[in-house]
Amino acid sequence: MSSSNNKISALGQTLRTDWQLYLLLAPMVIWFIVFLYTPMAGLQIAFKDFSLFKGIYGSTWVGFEHFQTLFNDELFLRSIGNTFLISLYSLLFAFPMPIILALMFNELHHAVFKKTAQTIAYLPHFISVVIVAGMVVSFLSPTTGIVNLVLEYFGFEKTYFLTNPEYFRPIFIGSTMWKEAGFESIVYLAAIAGVNPSLYESARVDGASRWQQIWRITLPSILPTIIIMLIIRIGNLVEVGFEYIILLYQPATFETSDVISTFIYRVGLQGSQYDIATAAGLFNAVIAFILVYSANRISRKLSSSSLW
């Protein structure tokens, strides 16, 4: 009792002497409460029959009814499957790419070429997804797109790639890689820059080839960074660039392109079924949290690197 009283008086003391510090902190804390924590209270409508008139707090509880609806909804189940497949494929193909690029940049000894190559590689990151989608649409257009013109020249048939579900994932992952792989390599280049140069010198004296130096020195040295990026990536698995998917997908490709976030967007924001969409969102967020938590746990067991 007295210790908590002491704490309170100590807090009062620092508030008096350090009020300026708390004043500086206040806008940020208020912002987080208003824009990120208040919506968390809104999550309760996942368990309510939400009515616009009664509001979030006045609506009646319905328990897990919305979750039952969702898990009987083939479209929702399909979106879960698509989310995991797209994530899995981008983990397999898009995740290693920036690592490989960073290793390649690092082996480039011509300074001007190196700088030019990096400048160009980073550039697409600064282009909006709307423009990237515009470029993809324009390149893949069935009548005038350059890809189809080339296919036609070599005697193949023209294909409307964007209406064919089979092509959606390669197009999505490929264009995302075009946009981000170069820029993501920066993080690994930063890690490589931190490797102790004497390691390379002694390896060279021992006669290690450049290939061996990459495998024996560079890769092991940047492994902690790779693991942290992997954990972050796993945490974002269920997010899968939905802002970009919305631009690129159409009803004809929903079969392979509709992910949980785009499902929430259509059902919630376009269809105004707020409660069901919130339930889907909550499911999404909980899975994301479990994924990043377990990835972190596993990584802490296997190696020394972890996010917390």
C-alpha to C-alpha distances, 231 to 80, 100, 300, nearest whole angstrom: 20, 18, 11
56 binds another protein (CB under 8 A): yes
Partners of 49 in beta bridges: 60
Contact positions with another protein (CB under 8 A) in 91-150: 101, 104-105, 107-110, 113, 116-117, 119-124, 126-131, 133-135, 137-139, 141, 143-144, 146, 149
To another protein, the closest distance from the beta carbon of 165 in angstroms equals 17
Instruction: Indicate the residue among 35 and 74 with the shorter CB distance to another protein.
Output: 35
Name the nearest CA neighbour of 173 among 260, 79, 245, 101.
Answer: 245
Does residue 32 touch another protein according to CB under 8 A? Answer: yes
The mark string for 57-96 relative to another protein (x by CB under 8 A, - otherwise) is ----------------------------------------
How far apart, in Å, do the first and last CA atoms of the chain sit?
Answer: 33
The strand pairing partners of 48, in sequence order, are 61
User: What single-letter amino acid sits at 94?
Assistant: A
Hey, what's the torsion of the CAs at 91, 97, 100, 103, to 10 degrees? Answer: -110
Asked if 198 interacts with another protein (CB under 8 A), we say no
Q: Which one, 91 or 208, has the nearer CB to another protein?
A: 208
| One of 8, 75, 193, 302 touching another protein (CB under 8 A) | 193
Selected binder of another protein within 40, 63, 111, 197 (CB under 8 A): 40
- Helix 74-93 / helix 96-106 crossing angle, nearest 10 deg: 20
Is 289 among the residues that bind another protein (CB under 8 A)? yes
Of 59, 82, 225, 253, the one binding another protein by CB under 8 A: 225
Nearest to 46 by CA among 38, 56, 37: 56
Cα torsion through 145, 151, 152, 156, rounded to 10 = -140
Shortest reach from residue 1's CB to another protein, in Å: 20
Choose the binding region for another protein from 67-75, 77-85, 87-95, 270-278 (rule: CB under 8 A). Answer: 270-278
User: Does the protein bind another protein through residue 31 (CB under 8 A)?
Assistant: yes
**Binding piece for another protein, criterion CB under 8 A, among 66-74, 82-90, 164-172, 224-232:** 224-232
Q: Is 235 in the site for another protein (CB under 8 A)?
A: yes
275 C-beta neighbours (distance < 10 Å), count = 22
Q: Where are the beta strands (DSSP E) in the chain?
A: 48-49, 60-61
